[in-house]
Structure 1
């Protein structure tokens, strides 16, 4: 009886689990729990308990085609349940197994923007980031500093998963790292290092090319996308990739007649797209739906992993530097319908893909472009010029429209950190670039479609 009494007053602790809140279509909030348990736990909303629904069971998915050779690939193992529950508008409190969940605000004023957060282990490029060294793979530090800023909302602009291949024998920097596209790699690459930021605020989870169906798409659909998980859109079978690699844009209202428009650009290509290509038609359809969504509010901020209006840089074998324009696949498909690429209702674009921070504003009729791909994965180190040379543009333009004419340009190359946006008015945002210590390295102002920063190059 004594033992029974002790058990009653000291119940077993709940199993370890991961929890977070993701925002989806029209701002609908979805609570997710990833847990090793026989069934989904209950969620307590406003002190009333209700069951969570099973989104995806624990399972091992048969090996499908990946970018790597079969010898460097393996089936994706997901030993946890993925559980979910919608948080009704006006929910005042939400807990799972005693843990509080972050709740959305109707008008978020403080927004963190991060992207490209995983640790790169890739045999094809001989890239072996030191995942075991927090200085060389600092996403956990970035996430903690961003959480300390106390955001109302977190935007991830895509590329969560980078641990694709096994660390080479004898490489101490990544020794023991999980790899492949299953839960263990997803946990080490995103959920474990990002835990403090996942607890701090709801997230918008844009999709990057590292989450296309050949790569981390199975985990993306299972864990991150806010919409229902549908058979055939889950990336489990290569025969369904023309469905699983694409999805419709959606709008998240953030108050003051403003929307965030989230685009899935996971399967575009820098090599370009042309009529007859599956992607060409898919992204033309994406543009039409983006256009329709943008008409629902007078001001919009777009979120797309691949920047159409940003610059990259590469070094040729002879040591010279070549500047690289925005994504050619999206420029071709969007440009075939609108030579200016975006409708006038879009104020700015938030992107990643290029592993640095960047801002560009235009004297032509283009929205400002911000790139925040500097939160964890191996940084780009080829320098960008302080001022772009005459005639250099991220988007050459489609006749009869001129190309994007850069008016203000700012960048930070080879530095880890995060970007913040704080609202000052209907059209005005204060934007700051923070380093690993949380120090502000650059300040910018976004007013309508135009933006300008204090310094052209963060040193």
Structure 2
């Protein structure tokens, strides 16, 4: 529908703010001239952890409510020997992490916290405005012959997306995974990605997340879900050093392939949202959409994940699941001489969770937030399943195969899941927002890369409805 004049003016104002902020996403120097990145992640029970990444010789002080204190060294600079990865050995290399990773707890009730004069975003007891985004890295993958134009802000617009999301002034940011994509070197003849860092070290992580996402990292605390691009055979070393809110432990760091059974899995945790609501965050980095073979260790790991989710779920009446691989989503691609193929749910998770609970999730899980499929999508069900939202459209090269409208009769992402509405946006970059309207009610809006609203949905309990079934 056409925008009214006030909405057009608001959109133009947001665009101007986004472009200004996007131009300021360099990582600025600290007090000794060393560049640094700072952000806050929320972990178990909502515990807030401040992180600083710096090339300074020592961790800086943190000032909490006017009182200075030391930060703890989480990880020292290191070069990690080359290990087996998702790429052939000639397209892999050692991981160079030439930054200190420093951290400090932020106790509940703080009025202020700063590092090197920069304010840190503090958590809200009851966040009302939430940004949801995912799949933000720039794709450089030789095995798929897929090289995104990382140097073109229109073809890789994560900096613009992050700036527009920050301008929306969120209380909380949820990233649903796949932060890192610069795995292999850009071909010499490709000017679109010429000069891009690659591999799994700090330079690639900085280019994919910490530089383009700087303003959003400073805007609000983050809840982070781990994607398959952060598995141990890919960007898992950086995941554990930089992002996971839990302690960094030897053997759970993805440095040695012999420890991958430990490094590729982690326990779920709850983040309270106030108003008898919570997030349940769980790690699906090592699942497989094809399903597990008999005896595969992943099956037991994810059954254990389900049991722990079921134990955490009763802590609040209203629960939102946060993970990377959509249990209840639908994608599409062209295989077999251009024939359309629908990609339904995630077979590994459905197989694991479904063996314990045919409904797949604890009963009070009302909403699922995921990524992995490079589009925006909403699916609501009449069968008692939670609404599924996919927000995997924030920077990585987009999926471009349309999902049929209407779907073929009987299409379902999982056994017993009966679709009553599906809304999607294919081949468009942006981010999603959630604004609290009540204990079990949210208004969801889909924003393009400049912040303009392209769709609006209402969520009440497990069911949701959107104004548009297809965004053009």
TM (norm. structure 2) is 0.93
Corresponding position of 2:457: 444
Give, in whole Å, the separation in 2 of the partners of 1:134 and 1:377: 12
Task: List aligned pairs for 1:119-268, cutoff 5 A.
Answer: 119-268=138-287
How far off is 1:143 after superposition? Answer: 0.0
Find 1:320's aligned residue among 331, 339, 357: 339
1:306-347, CA deviations, whole angstroms, 9 ceiling, x for partnerless residues? 001000101124333121101100000000000110111100
* RMSD, aligned α-carbons: 1.0
Find 2:443's aligned residue among 411, 424, 430: 430
Secondary structure, aligned partner of 1:200? coil
Structure 2 unaligned blocks of 5 or more: 1-29
1:246-281, CA deviations, whole angstroms, 9 ceiling, x for partnerless residues? 000000001000010001000001110144210000
Give, in whole Å, the separation in 2 of the partners of 1:68 and 1:322: 26
Aligned length: 443
Corresponding position of 1:72: 91
Find 1:36's aligned residue among 49, 52, 55: 55
Corresponding position of 1:301: 320
The answer to whether the 8 Å contact 1:94/1:100 transfers is yes
Secondary structure, aligned partner of 2:86? coil
The answer to whether the 8 Å contact 2:55/2:100 transfers is yes
* Alignment of 1:410 onto 2:428: no
Q: 1:318 to 1:12 in 2, by over 3 A?
A: closer
Give, in whole Å, the separation in 2 of the partners of 1:29 and 1:386: 43
How far off is 1:14 after superposition? Answer: 4.0
Give, in whole Å, the separation in 1 of the partners of 2:181 and 2:205: 9
Give, in whole Å, the separation in 1 of the partners of 2:239 and 2:85: 15
Give, in whole Å, the separation in 2 of the partners of 1:65 and 1:172: 29
1:138-176, CA deviations, whole angstroms, 9 ceiling, x for partnerless residues? 000000000000000000000000000000011100000
How far off is 1:35 after superposition? Answer: 0.5
Corresponding position of 2:124: 105
Give, in whole Å, the separation in 2 of the partners of 1:319 and 1:44: 58
Q: 1:13 to 1:56 in 2, by over 3 A?
A: closer
How far off is 1:179 after superposition? Answer: 0.1
Find 2:400's aligned residue among 381, 386, 411: 381
How far off is 1:90 after superposition? Answer: 0.5
The answer to whether the 8 Å contact 2:31/2:116 transfers is no
Give, in whole Å, the separation in 2 of the partners of 1:385 and 1:283: 31
Corresponding position of 1:20: 39
TM (norm. structure 1) is 0.95
The answer to whether the 8 Å contact 1:274/1:332 transfers is no
How far off is 1:12 after superposition? Answer: 6.2
The answer to whether the 8 Å contact 2:32/2:56 transfers is no
